Every structure is written in C-alpha cells, then in structure tokens.
Amino acid sequence: MQGMLDLKFIRDNLQAVKENVQNRHVQADPDRAVELYDARNALIGEIEALRTRRNENARAMKGKLEAEERKALIEEGKSLKAEIAAKEAVLSETEKELLAEAERIPNMSHPHAPLGKEEKDNTEIRRWGTVPAFDYAPKDHVQLGQELDLIDFDTATRVSGTKFYYLKNHAVLLELALTQFALSVLTGKGFTPTITPDIAREEIVAGIGYNPRGAESNIYTLEGEEGCLVGTAEITLGGYHAGDIIDPERMPIRLAGLSHCFRREAGAAGQFSKGLYRVHQFTKVEMFVFCHPDQSEAIHEELVGIEEEIFQALEIPYRVVDTCTGDLGGPAYRKYDLEAWMPGRGEKGAWGEVTSTSNCTDYQARRLAVRFKEEGKSRFVHMLNGTAIAISRAMIAILENYQQPDGTVKIPKVLQPMMGTDRIVRT
C-alpha cells in the first residue's frame, strides 16, 4: 500500500511532517497515521507468524499420526484459519483508515517556499515588461468582448448555466492561434504534443491529488460512471505512465497536452472572478515531465522559464511569484505562479494569475506507481506540471493590454501570421 507521502518517512520524520502540516494550514493528523502504520505493520507480522504455524500444521498432518493427534491438528488448523481471517479483516480496515489519513498529509514543502496562509503571502521573485499607461479609462475584457462581439456570456448562461461562454469571431481565431503558438514553442523544446481525453478514471484523479467527490471537490464526476471530467491535462498526462517502470535512459519524458478543462469552481465569487477569469470550461495547453529525482528542481526552473518565454513573446507584462505554503496545494513541493497585468481588473488594474508550475517530487508517482530502476532497486520518479497557456486567462491579458482608444484591440505580433490580421475589430 502506498500513500502520497512515504509512510516510513512520516514515521521517521514525524515532527517535521507535523510542522509542515501546520505551515500548510490543512487538516491532517500525522500522529494518527503513524499509529495506524505501526498497527498495520504489527498485524502483518502477526498474520505471517500465524501462516507459518498453519503451514507447519499442514506438514504435520502428512505424517503418521494417532487418531487423537490428527484430531488435535485438525482443530488447531481450523482455529488458525479463523484467527488469520479475523486478523486479515482487521488489517483491511486498518489499511483503509491508514490510507485515508495518509491522503490528508500534504507533500513536504521546499525550504525556500514562503510561509503563509493565502495568496497575499506569496513572494514576488521578478517582473518583466512595462505596465501600460492609458490616457483614458481602460475597459475590462467583458466590456471589450461584448462591444467587439467576441464573447457571449448571456446566451451561454441560458444554454449551459453561469460561468460558461461562447467565443465568436476573432476570439475563436485568437484561441486557435494561442494554442498553435504554445504547441510550437513546446515541440521546439522536445515536448511530445498530445491531445488528451477529457475524462479520467477516479483512481487516476485521486492519484494525481485531486478529490474526485465531496462538497469541496472542484471536479465534475460522471453520474453512474467511475469517471470524471478533467480539471486539467495534468491528470491525464500524469496518468499516462501509471503502473509503469520507465527506462531511466528515456527520462526526462516531456509531454505537452491540449485539453478542455472542467471545474466546478464551487464558492468562487467576487469581482476578480468575473468574465473569463474563473469559468467552468476552458482550453489549456499543459506541460508535464517525468524525470529522475536529481533533475526535478532544475526542470522546475526550466518550466517557469518556458512560461515566461511565451508571455514575453506575447509582450504581456508579468511577475513571477513563489507560492506560500498555505496556497501550494497538497501535491506540490514548490510552485511558481506567473501573474499577468490586467488593466481592467479592479479600479486601477491588478495582477492576475495566468500560469503556474509545480514540482510534485514523488508525491503523485508513489500513488500512481510510476517508477524506474537504478542499481537494481525500484525508485519513484519525480513528476512536474506547468501551464504553457490557459487560453481564457491569456485572452483576458491580451484584450485588456492591447486595447486601443478607438475600441479595437491590437494582436500580438507573434500571433498575427496565424490570425491573418493585426487588429481585432467588430465584424
């Protein structure tokens, strides 16, 4: 049985794990997990001892025996069988409870991850670009989308519900151009392009670290099916090698996944959630890497560098932040967010997250059993993910930063050949 964090590690580093749980501001009980782990190990030992006695009993039954001896051995055999069955039942329940407790314990945090509870505690690392200055009150993407006939929220609400939308006219071409651009960047860096399924089995979703069910879940589950709509291609890309032993010579394995993403966004509200920023469905190009544990920190820096390269090419001002412990999410050891400047956000404009990249070390690999062999021993790979581009949020940044006084929107130079025009106008 594998938890998300190595159970022996939890026992041997209990105080550090408890401090990490506190820093992450999550509900978890490492003490109880260790208690169950020790109980489980003791039960396994007891069961093995009983099985040894049963085997000895069976061998004794093959010898020449008096009637009374045989009868005693038969009775002992029955007793051993019943005792083993009883302890196996206790072991099964203990393992279920242990797994439930272990799943609540998050990954360890990088020593440089800032301590904090929420987004305001994240630490800015660097900025790029110049925040645009307007000599007029800039519009937000919702207003621009309506005036240029690009985004229709009202019809989508009638047809599908709130937080859905229709893209129209140049917005459709912009989505396709952004997708093509991101994939071209990634294929040039050795990523294998894929279009992933939009549905994953619940055990894969859980293995990646998402809760498939429950009121707090952000995942849509399929009624009557053991499947979920994916909230990100991280789920389907991470599940690609589930149960595999990867040849170390193949690593790092870099995958780029294009998928729709479906999120319940339960409880998400507020002015910064309006329009395209927080929706139930969007398109995303995701990066995913399987690598040797010694490579993961360097590859994490590589992934955030690719995200920066994409937004520099789009000429969108951004900043990179180091995510605080309370905002990391269970699987992440360290996470960087890239926040773009959004002139229509709030009264004076503000930074808004457009991509993130996480080093999840072996936390996901342990549950999904993704391994490699080194010097004859089986080890878990490290798994990393990163957003190359989330189309809806990139579209916000482009519409708001590239808006013009006449109501049109310029198109980033890098996208103009794919769109066949340099400007978005109402058609």
Strand partners, 256: 193, 287
Q: Who's near 283: CB < 8 A, 6+ residues apart?
A: 175, 179, 258, 259, 260, 261, 390, 391, 392
Catalytic residue among 278, 319, 379, 423: 278
DSSP assignment letter at 347 = T
For the question of residue 217 being annotated catalytic, the response is no
Q: What is the largest CA-CA distance in the chain?
A: 106
Backbone phi and psi for residue 180, each to the nearest 5 degrees, phi listed first: -65, -40
Q: How far is CA 362 from the centre of its chain?
A: 13
DSSP assignment letter at 115 = P
Collapsing DSSP to helix, strand or coil, 163 comes out as coil
Element at 359 (helix H, strand E): strand 350-359
For the question of residue 356 being annotated catalytic, the response is yes
Backbone phi and psi for residue 245, each to the nearest 5 degrees, phi listed first: -110, 110
Strand partners, 358: 335, 385
**Token representation of residue 208:** 């990646």
Catalytic residue among 40, 353, 392, 400: 353
CB atoms within 10 A of CB 68: 8
Catalytic residue among 24, 40, 254, 263: 263
Residue with tokens 């272990």: 102
Catalytic residue among 24, 345, 371, 393: 393
Pair 254, 228: CB distance under 8 Å:
no
Distance CA 308, CA 305 (A): 5
Element at 319 (helix H, strand E): strand 318-322
Distance CA 47, CA 188 (A): 55
For the question of residue 353 being annotated catalytic, the response is yes
Nearest to 403 by CA among 427, 424, 426: 424
In 232-292, alpha helices (H)? 233-238
Catalytic residue among 259, 296, 356, 392: 356
Element at 71 (helix H, strand E): helix 67-104
For the question of residue 296 being annotated catalytic, the response is no
- Catalytic positions are 263, 278, 353, 356, 393
